[in-house]
């Protein structure tokens, strides 16, 4: 289908009370905006995804696929929306979805439902009913508004491109969403059920957390000949490998122990004992069920700090590969991972290049 997805992310987030725009704030392992980007990509519904921002430098470090375009936004929301519409006009789109970057919690089910309803309608807008009593004020007088007749509209909102473009380029007033343009002209909108979880994040308090936990992991293995060396899931060219019942990957083992510590789940030996079943198992296979359980329990990683303690090999040479490997294995942004190399000034087994150790500190948060 000839669909385009626009993410509006040019706001300054003055009410968010942080030194960072809310769309770039880390939430559930990734920036708030990247939840929407990922869902739009995974839906396979869109030819292109357009991000509208006033911070182009922030996006230059991101490695998005070619399907995603980042363009300069405007002063107001309506300005940014119109800029996006003008940009995608060259592609002759049939439909356009407009979405607020500050709504990261919409589901793929909602996205598919909007797309389905758009086949027979020129505008589709999700909504939820108000749970609160609503009043409105005219000058100094306050009046009741029947909440049974009120709708709280959400995004993504979807439209036939031609109709929305013609309305947007003629509009001179500030608008809070694109549905307003259709309503002002008495154009028909198909309103569908939205999702209560699909709130727009405005204040820091809108991101509810229950508690943050910390865990410490440590592992040490002896170096032996005639074995491959794996660190963080990466095969490292070296004259020796790490002795162990598994492949001896001290980084992954320490990460596992840190997760188990933060979630109060005993230790790695409880889950992977020295039995025939786990003989020569690759460490990424051990990490996967631990990470899967972390996600199922609604925990999200804030930070992973790794100290690799050895004389050789030198960490700096393989740092990026190891970080990328851990990022892929755990399904987290690589910006959440730090890897440092430490020596022990030639002291002990590690100093004599007969062993490698690793320690990890992890921070995780459980969201309500």
pLDDT tens per residue, range 107-139: 999 999 999 999 999 999 999 988 778 887 888
pLDDT of residue 348: 92
For the stretch 88-107, pLDDT in tens is 999 999 999 999 999 999 99
pLDDT of residue 368: 64
pLDDT of residue 27: 86
Segment 62-76 shows an average pLDDT of 92
- Residue 324 reports pLDDT greater than 70: yes
- Residue 147 reports pLDDT greater than 80: no
- Residue 8 reports pLDDT greater than 70: yes
d(CA 67, CA 73): 19
Segment 47-72 shows an average pLDDT of 93
pLDDT of residue 142: 87
Segment 74-90 shows an average pLDDT of 94
pLDDT of residue 227: 93
| Structural contact between residues 335 and 280, judged by C-beta atoms closer than 8 angstroms | no
Segment 319-341 shows an average pLDDT of 95
pLDDT of residue 150: 82
Residue 209 pLDDT level (bands cut at 50, 70, 90): low
d(CA 73, CA 54): 5
Segment 231-238 shows an average pLDDT of 95
- Residue 208 reports pLDDT greater than 80: no
Q: Which CATH superfamily is domain 209-367 in?
A: 2-C-methyl-D-erythritol 2,4-cyclodiphosphate synthase (3.30.1330.50)
- Residue 35 reports pLDDT greater than 80: yes
pLDDT of residue 2: 92
pLDDT of residue 37: 96
Domain boundaries, given as residue ranges, for the chain: 3-206, 209-367
pLDDT above 90 covers what percent of the chain? 73
What rounded mean pLDDT belongs to the chain?
Answer: 92
- What is the rounded end-to-end Cα distance, in angstroms, of the chain? 36
pLDDT of residue 210: 63
Q: Which of 170-179, 201-210, 229-238 has the highest mean pLDDT?
A: 229-238
Just give the CATH number of 3-206.
3.90.550.10
């Amino acid at each position: 289908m000839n669909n385009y997805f626009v993410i509006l992310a040019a706001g300054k987030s003055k009410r968010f009370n942080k030194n960072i725009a809310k769309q770039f704030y880390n939430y559930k392992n990734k920036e708030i905006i990247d939840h929407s980007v990922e869902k739009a990509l995974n839906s396979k519904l869109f030819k292109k995804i357009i991000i509208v921002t006033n911070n182009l430098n922030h996006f230059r470090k991101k490695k998005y696929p070619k399907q995603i375009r980042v363009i300069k936004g405007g002063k107001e929301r309506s300005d940014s929306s119109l800029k996006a519409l003008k940009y995608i006009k060259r592609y002759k789109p049939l439909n356009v979805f407009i979405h607020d970057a500050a709504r990261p919690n919409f589901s793929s089910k909602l996205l598919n439902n909007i797309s389905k309803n758009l086949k027979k309608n020129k505008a589709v807008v999700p909504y939820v009913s108000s749970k609160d009593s609503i009043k409105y004020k005219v000058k100094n007088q306050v009046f009741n508004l029947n909440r049974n007749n009120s709708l709280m509209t959400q995004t993504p909102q979807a439209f036939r491109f031609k109709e929305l473009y013609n309305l947007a380029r003629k509009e001179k007033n500030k608008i809070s969403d694109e549905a307003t343009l259709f309503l002002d002209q008495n154009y028909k909108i198909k309103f569908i059920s939205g999702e209560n979880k699909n709130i727009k994040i405005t204040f820091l308090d809108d991101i509810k957390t229950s508690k943050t936990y910390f865990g410490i992991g440590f592992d040490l293995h002896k170096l032996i000949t005639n074995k491959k060396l794996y660190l963080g899931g990466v095969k490292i060219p070296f004259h020796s490998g790490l002795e162990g019942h598994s492949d001896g990957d001290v980084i992954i083992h320490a990460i596992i122990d840190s997760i188990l510590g933060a979630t109060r789940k005993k230790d790695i030996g409880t889950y992977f004992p020295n039995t025939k079943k786990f003989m020569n198992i690759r460490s990424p296979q051990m990490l996967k069920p631990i990470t899967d359980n972390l996600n199922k329990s609604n925990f999200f990683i804030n930070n992973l700090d790794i100290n690799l303690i050895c004389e050789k090999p030198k960490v700096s040479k393989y740092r990026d590969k190891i970080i990328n490997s851990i990022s892929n294995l755990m399904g987290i942004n690589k910006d959440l991972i730090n890897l440092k190399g430490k020596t022990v000034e030639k002291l002990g087994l590690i100093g004599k290049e007969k062993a490698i150790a690793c320690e990890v500190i992890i921070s995780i948060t459980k969201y309500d």
